[in-house]
Amino acid sequence: MSRPRPSPGSIRRRLTLQLLTGAAVMAVVLFLIVYNFAREIGAESQDTILAASATAILDATTVQSGEVRIDIPYSAFTMLDNTADDRVFYRITQDGAGLTGYDDLPAARLDPGASAGFDTVTYRGAALRLATLSRLVSIDGTPARIDVSVGQTRDAQAEMLARILRMTVLLGLGFFAASAGLAVLAGQSTAASLRRLAASVSRRGPADLRPVVAEVPREMRPLVKSLNSLISRLSGALNRTEDFIAEAAHRVRTPLATVRAHADNTLRRVDKEENRAALREMIRAIDESSRAAGQLLDHAMVSLRADQLELTSVALRPLVGELVDRLRPLADLKDMDLHFDDPQDAEIMGDAILIQNAVRNLIDNAIKYAPPETPVEVALTANGGQATLTIRDRGRGFPITGTEGLTGRFARGENAADVVGSGLGLTIAEEVARAHRGTLTIANIDGGPGACVSLSFPLH
């Protein structure tokens, strides 16, 4: 036994979660890109200022009388001023020997052939960004190398990065919030298309098998096309099924009626009691088969048409009168008085074929279960917005235990075991009544033997 497949969940929820996940990833990527870019820009700006300060010092370095003279310009350090009061350190060396500045200040590493180098070092307990520039000078014809190192703490840059970090976080959160809103709207829009399609189908009546023409997104058009194809096949199958049931009813009932007629004729010509008993059993079996086959086909017809009623204006008086005339020969065989006296006019909106099936089964039941030489009364009244068909007989009635469950399929009372029947007559009548928003009422006659069955429909 295969396990039930787990539900895939809501399309809207899945789409929204996927879009939110994508938005979160994009927000994180945006944050990293902006933050790293700002940090690189800040570092480049500081390196540029440090290099400019070191260049100003180199430009002010001269050689006089074979000695290196250093006149540090004021602008070399003022350009490093900032609101964070970063500390500035410098050192000037000639061929590695210190001339002035902080003797323990390291120099940035210079690549071979490079005139400038930058590095980040820890100096006196603080992170220091260091720029070192180198230039060759001639002292009495002898080349000498002058190195200028200028360093600055990174408090201002850290403060700037903190502000950028806060702005970037707010930007990422705003981007995620906007993306989340768009994701929810996209999920709702997609679900709304499905709801419109479902509504266009669910609003239809059972008999409405027209193609679906709801406006849907392009991606859902294959679904609508497949749904219309299914509806077309279903309509064709229902039509073929209805035709088959009608044809089967004709082909089953006619041969059985012919066989029963021959059996009746044979019974009249047979003298031996054992042969007559055998023929009576055969006639009983034929009657049971004919009735069961007929009611099974009637029930199939009712089940099929109940979901797609062909509603027309139905005049109950001539419909019931015709059925009474058709069933009167059956009542005459039992010397029963089947009468339909002084009915009122009543007109309803309904499916004439289903109503005929229901009424025929109820009258047939009354004739079948009532004893010979008793009356069967059929009455039609119209009042209170209801048309009510009432059928009374003087038979054994319904079981004394009650009528509950007798309208179920193949259900029969315990007092009807000796009577040929399939247990579908009341089922058919009850399903027809329910399909027409009517009611079926069954009860025993007060104060005497017999049953009373009422079938009610709303008036047209």
Which of 100-104, 213-217, 275-279 reaches the highest mean pLDDT? 100-104
Which one, of 85, 91, 89, 80, lies nearest residue 47 by Cα? 80
What is the predicted pLDDT for the residue at 5?
52
What is the predicted pLDDT for the residue at 73?
82
Which one, of 40, 62, 244, 85, lies nearest residue 137 by Cα? 62
Give the model confidence (pLDDT) of 114-137 as tens digits.
Answer: 778 889 888 888 888 899 998 888
Q: What is the mean pLDDT of residues 433-455?
A: 86
Q: CB under 8 Å to 87, separation ≥6 — which residues?
A: 126, 152, 153
Which of 185-189, 267-271, 428-432 reaches the highest mean pLDDT? 428-432
| Domain boundaries defined on the chain | 12-163, 309-460
Provide the H-helix boundaries in 102-154: none
pLDDT at 61 over 80: yes
Q: What is the mean pLDDT of residues 54-68?
A: 84
Beta bridge partners of 92: 100, 148
CA pair distance 263, 259, nearest whole angstrom: 6
Of 48-62, 288-302, 429-443, 444-458, the poorest mean pLDDT is in 288-302
Neighbour-count burial of 402, counting CB atoms closer than 10 A to its CB (0-12 exposed, 13-18 middle, 19+ buried): exposed
Q: What is the mean pLDDT of residues 256-269?
A: 78
Sign of CA dihedral 364, 367, 370, 375: positive
Which one, of 282, 290, 272, 274, lies nearest residue 421 by Cα? 290
* Torsion from C-alpha of 305, 308, 313, 317, nearest 10 degrees: 20
Q: What is the mean pLDDT of residues 379-391?
A: 89
What band does 304 get if pLDDT is binned at 50, 70 and 90? low
CA distances from 314 to 317, 319, 342, 368 (A): 9, 8, 19, 27
Provide DSSP, 218-276: GGGHHHHHHHHHHHHHHHHHHHHHHHHHHHHHHHHHHHHHHHHHHHHHHHHH---HHHH
The number of residues in the chain equals 460
Reply yes or no on domain 309-460 having CATH 1.25.40.10.
Answer: no
Bigger pLDDT: 316 vs 405: 316
Q: What is the mean pLDDT of residues 148-167?
A: 84
Q: What is the mean pLDDT of residues 235-258?
A: 69
CA pair distance 400, 413, nearest whole angstrom: 9
Which of 88-92, 179-183, 187-191 reaches the highest mean pLDDT? 88-92
What is the predicted pLDDT for the residue at 3?
56
pLDDT at 1 over 50: no
What band does 456 get if pLDDT is binned at 50, 70 and 90? very high
Tokens of 427: 């089922």
pLDDT at 359 over 50: yes
Q: What is the mean pLDDT of residues 99-110?
A: 87
For 12-163, CATH gives 3.30.450
Other CB atoms closer than 10 Å to residue 413's CB: what's the count? 21
What is the predicted pLDDT for the residue at 364?
86
pLDDT at 283 over 50: yes
Mean pLDDT of all residues belonging to the chain: 80
Bigger pLDDT: 362 vs 189: 362
Going by the DSSP 8-state scheme, the letter that residue 215 receives in this structure is -
Bigger pLDDT: 150 vs 66: 150
CA pair distance 432, 111, nearest whole angstrom: 100
Bigger pLDDT: 364 vs 302: 364
